[in-house]
Chain A
């Protein structure tokens, strides 16, 4: 018979300690093993993983290429115009001094007409020549970007030097005491922009790992519930063992996936021009993995309950909605937060999974701050596990429709 309304049901034997543990103590390992193997053999999961890896590697390669490529600009000058040749040559030196990727070449041409022809033919990108009032940098379109800046500086220096000489002094004398030197107090600190992208990456790692592995555990629970396999399993092992195996199995997958992504990311960074950020990034990533591991235990437990509350796979979109909101909320809030708000978030369990490593990366957190935050997170995870275990047992064997959290937690009648 099928009963449409069934009340909370717990295994009669679950509440009586003693013989029940006989031989079932290690059952969670079997469950965990099955979760991992099933997942690893799932084609959609493997394809998704490979695609993600390819995207990460491709992005890293693109940024590395972008950073290393040399941008050569050819400036045409009349060969008899020594001042122009000197200006372009010193512009090239300025570019080289700055350590960027710009190179400026000189193309000596016979006269103005030859220069125009070179521009039209694409042999030169710009043409430097004296104008009515100072100098002119001409291009097919508007000559722009860094070339303009370097040439302008070079021309200015040259003209100032000439004017200074005419006035009976020198540039050195004129500009004495006006030099500005920069000094990096933390030479390996992460730049503002890199920080934003790194935080975004952390948010995304959290989001992708939590959503995919969370839904994996929820659907694996409801699969067993829908097929009544759970009734066979429940007579074989305590439900606590089943829950533990599922949580650990999906955690291994989620953390392993994030380790893989993070590792690839670090390798990519070490091969890129921002490799000086590597130590800071590594510290932050290690914290992230630790926080994620603890935080995901709580999420996995809650997702397992979402699965147990459902009675068919279709119910999951309702029972897992609070979880989806939680994970999405953490994702959006953490990557856009800053300042005092970020500091607060870095202590709020689950949000702290992203916020605290982000602060560590920004060198904004004292050494004890992640430790305190981790303790808070662990406390939250422990509480979530306890409540989830109860709700899981209170709902998993209930048939006939969705079960509410309240029903699931109602004491055994």
Chain B
């Protein structure tokens, strides 16, 4: 039985899963890495709105039935100071990076954004 030590910092961030019904693509099939997905806003009623490309998605916040914890595994090689034990102690530490209690589901049909877009920023 290996004892795992879990370090939990109650102040650790809470993450939220974003669930999309559909797929996110790039124009030129470029990889999605480091691409900002879009802007997430909340309207007056607290409903999340996601602007993704030229689509506006309206979602809802759902509590996960089983919250998910995101652990970061940290291995430390400890050379024991005691001489009689030669074995190297490999200890595993798990740090709770975040807890996921909620997710936002964007399941409705996206609305195309027709308004003039302020593209002068770039």
Chains A and B belong together in one complex: no
Q: Which residues of A contact B (CB under 8 A)?
A: none
Q: Which residues of B contact A (CB under 8 A)?
A: none
